[in-house]
Amino acid sequence: MIRILRTSLSILAAFWLLLNANCAIMQWQRQYLGDPIMYFDKDGDETKLNNHIYPRREGSGGGYGGAGGGCGC
């Protein structure tokens, strides 16, 4: 049941994204989207430092798409 629910939600989310892809937001409507506080990776150096800490404490890591140097931790 949970699996079906998950799959349904995934399909719904994908459909929603595709639907919105055709509703272009014009250049002059992006004053908020262009604000730096809307950036996903606003401070790359801070992200890099954090991504070097969490995987040393937890059994999982990665998945966010960035490249990082390894260490023997």
Min separation Cβ 5 and another protein, Å:
15
Q: Are 47 and 66 in contact (CB under 8 A)?
A: yes
Sign of the Cα pseudo-torsion (52, 53, 58, 63, in order) = negative
By the rule CB under 8 A, 69 interacts with another protein = yes
User: How many whole angstroms separate alpha carbon 48 and alpha carbon 9?
Assistant: 32
Q: How many residues form the binding site for another protein (CB under 8 A)?
A: 44
Give the residues lining the site for another protein (CB under 8 A). Answer: 13, 17, 20-22, 24-27, 29-30, 32-33, 35-38, 40, 43-46, 48-50, 52-54, 56-60, 62-65, 67-73
